[in-house]
A = this chain, B = another copy of it.
Amino acid sequence: MGKGVAWILSVGNELLIGRVVNTNAAWLASKLTHLGYSVRRVVVVPDEEGDIVEVFREALGRADVVISTGGLGPTPDDITNLAFCKALGVDPVVNQEALRMVKEKYEARGYPLTPEREKMAMMPPGAKPLPNPAGTAPGILYEHGGRVVVLLPGVPREMEAIFEGYVEPVLRSRGPPVYFAEQELVVRGVPEADVAPVIREVMRMDPALYVKSHPKGFEVETPLLHIHIYASAEDRRRAEALVEAAVGRLKQLLIAKFGGRAEISTTQAPR
């Protein structure tokens, strides 16, 4: 099930001092999941060459798709593109297409092309620059031995624009389509621990099914659970039917076990 394993790498000290919440990783994780990938890691590393090289090497050895965010800008601590080259063991080159993209943005406003700005056009030989409709640093797409590595800027608006415009189509075209379906049940009045055996039984219905409960109220005093049901399949209708069947079975088992004690309602899945 699924197109393969994805890792998300987030580069930036601001994430490690807690100044910024990593919304980029959640956004990318949702996108990759809906594209049929199984995201197995999000790793946040500081703006340090050694750390970035290390995590790229680890990811390259274990993931089919690697997406990084952060560290592509013009300041001295933006070094993700250079560290990625080091992880590959190649010397960075100035990509002429990328240089043209960067140059155009600055020249249109009368700014010169300084060495800091030229750095944004450096990437491994054979990489493809991705236009940045919302900023100046191009994204970087690097395909090698069946793997896809994408380096994106850390500014959410720029990261999202490049992903949707130039990365999503590439990932969508790889392998058979995979569809993802989900639903959420809200259950009041029964503690999570008592629902656990029911969830286990529903999950046994199909290996493509995943059911997880999230406690929202205090577990004993006012038990309130969100139960998230999701499935992926190569056929949209099969994914949806699986989730539908699991929701039906879940309700049936909850009512059989808890009767009127369990108050069950359905919500729209969060996205």
Contacts and interface: CB of A to CB of B under 8 A. Distances in A.
B30 A76 contact: no
B18 A31 contact: yes
Given A25-B44, A26-B20, A111-B191, A200 B76 contact: yes
| SS class, residues of chain A in contact with chain B | mixed
Interface in A7-49: 10, 13-23, 25-33, 39-47
Nearest to A117: B193
Interface stretch (A84-92, A101-109, A122-130, A233-241): A101-109
A251 B230 CA distance: 53
B45 A17 contact: no
B43 A228 contact: no
A79 to B, nearest CB: 12
Q: Of residues A13, A31, A32, which shows the largest number of chain B Cβ atoms within 10 Å of its Cβ?
A: A13
Interface string A210-242: 101111001111000000101000000000000
Contact of A44 (B42, B136, B195, B196): B42
A9 to B, nearest CB: 11
A134 interface: yes
Interface residues of A, number: 70
B220 A14 contact: no
B42 A230 contact: no
A177 interface: no
Given A76-B199, A136-B219, A218-B134, A45 B51 contact: no
Contacts of A43: 41-44
Contacts of A191: 74, 106, 111
A20 B10 CA distance: 16
A148 interface: no
B194 A114 contact: yes
15 contacts: A14-B228, A18-B29, A19-B30, A19-B270, A19-B271, A22-B42, A40-B46, A41-B45, A73-B193, A74-B193, A74-B196, A75-B199, A111-B193, A116-B197, A117-B193
